[in-house]
Amino acid sequence: MKLISNVEKSLLLTAAGAFALFAIGGVLTTVVPPMVDQSLWRSEFPVHEYTEQEKRGIEIYKREGCVYCHTQQIRHLASDQRRYGWRMVDAAVSESWEYVNDKEHFLGTKRTGPDLARVGGKYSSEWHWAHFKDPRNMGEKFPDRKGIYEKASIMPSFAYLSDEEIKDLTAYLQTLGRNKDWRVDKDGNPLNDYEK
Amino acid sequence: MKQDTAAKTAIIASCFYFGLALTMGLLTALKFIVPTVGEIEYLSMPRVRMLHTNINLFGWLLQANIGILFWILPRILHTKLFSEKLGVATGILYNLTVLGGFACILLGKVKNVEYGEIPPPFDYLIAVCWLLFAINVFGTVATRKVKYLYVTVWYTLGAVIWTTFVFITGNMFSQMPMVTGVNQANLIWFYVHNAVGLIFTPLGVAIAYYLIPKQLDTPIYSHKLSMVGFWVISFVYVWTGAHHMLHGPVSHWLQTVAIIFSFSLIIPVMAVITNFFGTFATAPKSIRMKGPVPKLLMMGTVYYIFTCLQGPFQAIRSVNEIVSKTDWVVGHAHMALFGAFSYYAMAGVYYIAPRLAGRRLYSEKLGDLQFWIMTLASIPFFAVLWISGVVQGYAWLNPENTFVATLAAIRHAHIMRFSTGGLIFAAYFLFLYNVLQTFFGKYPEEVEAAEAAAVSE
């Protein structure tokens, strides 16, 4: 009790005590994880190096705040893997080494729109173009986007981006999720016919 | 310089930012219903959302807390503020800084840190302002005329120290070139979570620890509980950042650590809450709920319990699977920052404004009305978001539901959020009017006296 009453009389002891208790958890959860788990910052597998154009795309993705509605992580959950898979192939779970070249991480916290971790190559660049221009009316070329999409999609239109900017952004999107080669059918044949 | 100028400027400025932040929130909510509203670059939904969170955190809540503490600290420590001039200078620099930061966000010059979008050099300037505030806090404590430090002072000292490291880690260390990917995400989550937990929680609790016993004219229920609450929160809060990445690509052991400490948080929170309710329960009945101040403190405490019980349960892996990444989280965050800590801050403003102005609060009735509108609107506001989160979380489990169909299923919640949010926004103007009238307005009796004087002349 003497100690406690001394602490309550002393600015130094209160401040030092509050800092010391905080520092234990602070160090163990920020500095120690990358030391223990090296896959947080380096990869044994090849990881895509971004081109200049893709880097410009990343800047646009950041500036336009895409991350506030779109996460970029397939979690260790069957529902995530199935929903963000392709042609009955489950999407591969996202692993930490896949992100080591991301100077800006876009793991995200909220899915107002679908996850984008494995979106690369799923839609043609022409599709993205029409979608950025007007998510609720993509024109006659994409008849499967009629109906509920016109009514229920709440994505903002990014028609104010220049053509160049949309191209850069699309170039970045097309890289997403390709560090793992997961798009193969049951016999191991690549399912890359959708790329244009 | 006149005493309490620093407190006054910060408090009045913060009340205006509160309205601006609510405007941005309402606009975001509207865009969820009618996405084509305001379709220009500067008002695109993500930017408005960033403005909403940043103006709330830095313009309103942090500044209001700083102003309130500038007033409270000298009173508890029976001394003057260490430097009134420094306090005013901090306030001016801080306001220029956050305005610059908000302009950058509007123009799309942002940092990729949630709750920390304000880019350099403005984030560095916020850190400078924080250190100036720290000098004033430490100086005031060092020049005190009382022997013992009261709980409010512990929490303020804690917040000042913790925030310095939390802010620098999230805004500066996370931006270093070798910090990438999931490692960066971990540092940013350390910041985002502790921004709420080690900045706004201790500052809000510090203010409530002063206001509740003062307003109720009753000593704090238990000194031992105060100590348990403070020392346990200093130890356990900081570990929990990784619970935002459950099931995600971060190390499994780190997730488990975060879950365990998220649960430990029940200890300090219950200690604080028992203490607050105990004080309410032992206060004389006639003043327990008189006027807006005790009502806001009581309801803020109720929201504090619920938000702090939701937190640990959301961190359970199986619960997290359903609610994470949905509207649930939005409801949870609003209950913490609006429900609990903005209520404490409004109570502080209502308590201090009349004392700064040297007269009674302009209208207790108006304050009561504002309290009831905000409270009756905020309960459905939070609740529809939780409901919509659970609906969407379960809908996502079935791969037959297209994503857009799961979004269409929660449209009702977005409409409810906008309409109840509109009520909160309307009630805000009652708050602002009441505060401004208290500082600058004419009171009915003054008008009468002036008329009487005019007649007698």
CA closest to A113 among chain B residues = B403
CB count within 10 Å of CB B454 equals: 8
CA B185/CA B236 separation, integer angstroms: 20
Average of per-residue pLDDT values in chain B: 95
**Is the separation of the CB atoms in B102 and B54 below 8 Å?**
yes
CB count within 10 Å of CB B382 equals: 24
Whether residue A154 is predicted with pLDDT greater than 90 in this model: the reply is yes
Task: Identify which has the larger pLDDT, B370 or B2.
Answer: B370
pLDDT of residue B377: 97
Whether residue B248 is predicted with pLDDT greater than 50 in this model: the reply is yes
pLDDT of residue B107: 95
* Tens of pLDDT, residues B147-196: 999 999 999 999 999 999 999 999 999 999 999 999 999 999 999 999 98
Burial of B177 (0-12, 13-18, 19+ CB in 10 A): exposed
* Tens of pLDDT, residues B428-446: 999 999 999 999 998 888 8
* Tens of pLDDT, residues B61-87: 999 999 999 999 999 999 999 999 999
Size of interface A-B (CB pairs under 8 A): 228
Q: Å from B111 to nearest chain A CA?
A: 8
Whether residue A193 is predicted with pLDDT greater than 70 in this model: the reply is no
Whether residue B260 is predicted with pLDDT greater than 70 in this model: the reply is yes
State whether A41 and B36 contact (CB < 8 Å).
Answer: no
pLDDT of residue A196: 43
Task: With a threshold of 0.90, tell me whether the complex ipTM lies above it.
Answer: yes
CA-angle at B375, arms to B312 and B443, nearest 5°:
135
Nearest Cα neighbor of B425 from B149, B29, B107 is: B29
Enter the tokens of residue A82.
């199935």
Across the interface, of A63, A73, A83, the residue whose CB is closest to B110 is: A63
Across the interface, of A19, A71, A102, the residue whose CB is closest to B161 is: A19
pLDDT of residue A191: 67
Q: What three-state secondary structure class fits A182?
A: coil
What is the average pLDDT across B42-69?
A: 96
pLDDT of residue A184: 75
When scoring B37, B76, B110, B112 by the number of chain A Cβ atoms within 10 A, the one with the most, hence best to mutate, is B112
State whether A82 and B45 contact (CB < 8 Å).
Answer: no
Q: Å from B132 to nearest chain A CA?
A: 17
Across the interface, of B41, B182, B321, the residue whose CB is closest to A99 is: B182
Enter the tokens of residue B313.
């349960």
* Tens of pLDDT, residues B80-106: 999 999 999 999 999 999 999 999 999
pLDDT of residue A192: 60
What is the average pLDDT across B338-354?
A: 97
Q: What three-state secondary structure class fits B429?
A: helix
Nearest Cα neighbor of A168 from A56, A49, A59 is: A56
* Tens of pLDDT, residues B294-316: 999 999 999 999 999 999 999 99
CA closest to B29 among chain A residues = A154
Q: Å from A1 to nearest chain B CA?
A: 11
Task: Enter the pTM of the model.
Answer: 0.95
State whether A25 and B261 contact (CB < 8 Å).
Answer: yes
Enter the tokens of residue B131.
């250190």
Q: What three-state secondary structure class fits A186?
A: coil
HEC profile of A123-179:
CCHHHHHHHHHCCCCCCCCCHHHCCHHHHHCCCCCCCCCCHHHHHHHHHHHCCCCCC
| The total number of residues written for chain A in this structure | 196
Burial of B184 (0-12, 13-18, 19+ CB in 10 A): buried
Bridge partners of A89? A86
Residues of A in contact with B402 (CB under 8 A): 148
Give the model's confidence band at A89: pLDDT under 50 very low, under 70 low, under 90 confident, else very high.
Answer: confident
Across the interface, of A62, A65, A95, the residue whose CB is closest to B249 is: A95
Q: Which ranges of B324-410 would DSSP assign to H, the alpha helix?
A: 327-334, 343-357, 364-397, 403-408
Place of tokens 């998510």: A135
User: What are the angstrom distances between the C-alpha of B257 and each of B237, B241, B244, B264, B377?
Assistant: 12, 10, 12, 11, 37
Measure CA of the first residue to CA of the last residue in chain A; give whole Å: 74
